[in-house]
Amino acid sequence: MLALIPLLPFVGFLVNSTLGRRLPKSVSGGLASLAMVLSFLVAASSVWQLVGMNPAERAVEQTLYTWIASGDFTVDVAFRLDPLSAVMLLVITGIGSLIHIYSTAYMHDEGDSEFARYFSYLNLFAAFMLVLVLGASFPVMFVGWEGVGLCSYLLIGFWFKKKSAADAGKKAFVVNRIGDYAFILGMLALFARFGTLDFQTIAARVGAMPVETGFGIISIATLLLFVGATGKSAQIPLYTWLPDAMEGPTPVSALIHAATMVTAGVYMIGRNAVLFSHAPETMGIVAVIGAATALMAGTIGLVQNDIKRVLAYSTVSQLGLMFLAMGVGAFGAGIFHLYTHAFFKALLFLGSGAVIHALHGEQDIRNMGGLRKFLPVTYWTFVIGSLALAGFPGLAGFFSKDEVLFETFAHGHTLLWVMGALTSLLTATYMGRLVFLTFWGERRSASAKATVDKHDAPGHSAHDAHGHSGHGDTHGAPHDAPPAMAFVLVVLAIGSVLAGYIGVPHALGGHNQLATWLAPSFAAPAVAGGEVAEAAEGAGGAEAGGEEALELTLMAVSSGIAIAGIAVACFIWVMRRELAASMATSFAPIHRLLLNKYYVDEIYDASVVHPLSAVSREGLWKVVDIGLIDGAVNGVASIVDGSAAALRRLQTGSVRTYASSIFVGVVLVLGYYLWR
């Protein structure tokens, strides 16, 4: 039953990858979407079955077969469905199916084979992602982990004819390799410590141990795992690949680089909550890194001009918030934010996709504006998404982000709370900027200009330009998303409004179902059912009566922050447009610094890439390869050559000579035996 969930998309992948090029678009696209929808239904049904169970032992295990069996170390290919993976499951399959549907419209101008290739990748990604989520042990999870990395590489570089896309793909792949390397080391460390890689067993054994003080083996292991997570989830220091990943098709950015894959790191920490919570050192690092990433990415996002890049940086910063939550031990809050974020960030990306679609590949917000009246649906859904992201009261983002911040504060990390608050301010601001610049004001660029530079840049027209290029009416006004896309946008918009209400905090009279639901996943399986509820309280945030007041105030503060941010944005980019430019000039250094993303890429180039390539060229290539390896090979060859030249004299070609030599041997051997 569980196996079916990843299997369905995989079948879709098989079909599309083998005979997709022969199928018409409607069939291949429909097939892929159908696979996703089906697997969503299966997932929903199995989750429903999970709901029916007693909270204490909510889990469904399915072991397919034994994958590795060496000595006492065995790894089963086993899937485990528990509250945590259930949430992820629904997010992935649900949003995945929506994005599949969206893509059928968005990618419609691709050639048949390209179209099929796209959908086969997408399906493959979904399959791997589901394996990642469902895997009951590290190795199985790692299979999914690597698989999604591969698919993200393939999809970022989907338009591999465009150099920037290919490079971005490579960058993502390489950066992920670094993380994965650490991840493997972490797994090995865990194996060395616990002798197993099964989540439940590890959690049980750790749960039995005291919380580690100081920097011990568990801290090292978890830290390594976290490094892997930073690779996957684009945290400092390994976040640089995500903005470049925007070279991929927009739906891909929505699915992989906003909703699902990048949250794998968060999920991984949540999955090993017990483990991490036994390594306070690591937790601290996680929290700090998360907060730092959040703030930094927010600042960068403030000045970016590419609509997708802005969203990308906002994704990074939101992920930072999630890690912050994880770091302070509020696993429930982190997952909650992950879950809501999936909705509105997907919505935003798809909305931006619709915009780009309408403008035939224009991505620079400076060339947009005034699209409100052309793209009503896109506009409204986009606004909703932005508000949700900004944490406008009553929308999904509000509840989750607010809970994250509250937990941070409640766990006494005031400084981190300040950073988080700043981040949300920034978030509100740049989202406001995005909306205002894109949809308000007057058209700053005739679509003529857009089309012109589209046609000048074949890269564009060949790739992200999908609207109606080739039709005669490119000069006409941009018009709204086709029904399939519009439908998806609306659905997601509704989602981003309502998604938050399963996590309404007690302070607002709700009772945080999600936290309660998730609690068992974060508790050591050893503890009996009775304490699970208590653990749930702990995870969901220890709401004592006194804290409600605090929570309410914080809530007010953060909503105030959100509104303030939006107000600022409105003030700068709507009322006093020139102010932006003047600020940019007056704070030129900062502006330049932000615009160049703190020169991080350059720093990496200088500090890592160049030395590495230099060492490889001068050392490995010229010395090791040419000197040692080639030398050895050639040496052997020359030895053989010389000896052959000598022995050649015996090769007379006269059979009788050979026969006589044989006879010499015979006579000698026989003589030896006779002499003895």
Binding of residue 528 to other proteins (CB under 8 A): no
Kindly state whether residue 664 participates in binding other proteins, applying the rule CB under 8 A: yes
User: Which tokens sit at 54?
Assistant: 């007693």
Where in 269-328 is the site for other proteins (CB under 8 A)?
Answer: none
Nearest distance in Å: CB 645, other proteins: 15
Q: How many residues does the chain have?
A: 676
Residue 674 near other proteins by CB under 8 A: yes
The span of 58-66, 378-386, 516-524, 656-664 binding other proteins (CB under 8 A) equals: 656-664
Contact segment (CB under 8 A) with other proteins among 93-101, 239-247, 365-373, 654-662 equals 654-662
659 binds other proteins (CB under 8 A): yes
Segment interacting with other proteins (CB under 8 A) among 115-123, 148-156, 218-226, 668-676: 668-676
Instruction: Tell me whether residue 633 or residue 667 sits nearer to other proteins (CB atom).
Output: 667
Tell me: does residue 648 bind other proteins (CB under 8 A): no
CB nearer to other proteins: pick between 471 and 676: 676
Q: Please identify, among the stretches 256-264, 421-429, 441-449, 664-672, the one whose residues bind other proteins according to the rule CB under 8 A.
A: 664-672
Distance CA 564, CA 229 (A): 33
Cα 259 to Cα 237: distance, rounded to the nearest angstrom: 21
* Residue number with CB closer to other proteins (471 or 648): 648
Residues binding other proteins: number (CB under 8 A): 17
Q: Does 636 help bind other proteins (rule: CB under 8 A)?
A: no
C-alpha closest to that of 124 among 267, 232, 256 = 256
DSSP string, 243-270: HHGGGS-HHHHHIIIIISGGGHHHHHHH
Cα angle 217, 283, 547; round to 5: 145
DSSP label at residue 503: G
Structure tokens at 518: 């998730």
In the bound state with other proteins, the residue whose beta carbon lies nearer, of 614 and 659, is 659
Place of tokens 């950066």: 175
- Nearer of residues 471 and 656 to other proteins, judged by Cβ: 656
Among the residue ranges 28-36, 344-352, 478-486, 659-667, the one whose residues contact other proteins (CB under 8 A): 659-667
DSSP letters along 615-639, please?
IIIIIIIIIIIIIIIIHHHHHHHHH
For tokens 């197993």, what's the residue?
196
User: Alpha-carbon distance 29 to 103, whole Å?
Assistant: 8
Q: Which residue, 65 or 673, has its beta carbon nearer to other proteins?
A: 673
- Segment lying near other proteins (by CB under 8 A), choices 160-168, 263-271, 465-473, 660-668: 660-668
Least Å from the CB of residue 644 to other proteins? 14
Q: Is 666 in the site for other proteins (CB under 8 A)?
A: yes
Distance CA 508, CA 552 (A): 8
Helix axis angle for 529-540 and 513-522, nearest 10°, is: 120
**Beta pairing partners, 73:** 70
In terms of CB distance, is 546 or 653 closer to other proteins? 653
- Residue 635: CB minimum distance to other proteins, A: 28
Contacts for 285 with CB less than 8 Å, ≥ 6 apart: 223, 226, 327
Instruction: Verify binding: residue 644, other proteins, rule CB under 8 A.
Output: no
Compute the least distance from the CB of residue 92 to other proteins, in Å: 57
> Which of 612, 659 has the CB closer to other proteins?
659
Minimum CB distance to other proteins smaller for 45 or for 652: 652
Beta-carbon contacts of 594 under 8 Å, excluding residues fewer than 6 positions away, are 299, 300, 302, 303
Tell me which of 54, 70, 585, 654 binds other proteins, using CB under 8 A. Answer: 654
Report how far apart, in Å, the C-alpha atoms of 132 and of each of 5, 141, 261 are. Answer: 12, 4, 10
Does 647 sit near other proteins (CB under 8 A)? Answer: no
The answer to whether residues 179 and 230 touch, using CB atoms and an 8 Å cutoff, is: yes
Q: Binding of other proteins at residue 638 (CB under 8 A)?
A: no
Whole-number Å distance between alpha carbons of 164 and 474 = 26
Cβ closest to other proteins, residue 513 vs residue 657: 657
What is the smallest separation between the CB atom of 675 and other proteins, expressed in angstroms?
A: 10
645 binds other proteins (CB under 8 A): no
**CB nearer other proteins, residue 628 or residue 667:** 667
Compute the distance between CA of residue 604 and CA of residue 541 in angstroms, rounded to an integer.
39
Q: What contacts 122, CB < 8 A, 6 or more positions away?
A: 32, 99, 100, 103, 151, 155, 251, 252, 255
Measured torsion, CA atoms of residues 318, 321, 325, 331, in degrees rounded to the nearest 10: 10
Answer yes or no whether residue 656 interacts with other proteins by CB under 8 A. yes
d(CA 210, CA 655): 83
Which has the closest alpha carbon to 510: 564, 468, 469, 555? 555
Instruction: Please state the closest distance from residue 653 (CB atom) to other proteins, in A.
Output: 4
Which one, 567 or 659, has the nearer CB to other proteins? 659
Contact of 340 with 87, CB cutoff 8 Å: no
Q: How far is the CB of 658 from other proteins (least distance, A)?
A: 10
The yes or no reply on residue 590 touching other proteins (CB under 8 A) is no
CB of 173 to other proteins, least distance (A): 50
Between 564 and 664, whose beta carbon lies closer to other proteins? 664
> By the criterion CB under 8 A, which residues form the site for other proteins?
649-650, 652-657, 659-660, 663-664, 666-667, 670-671, 674
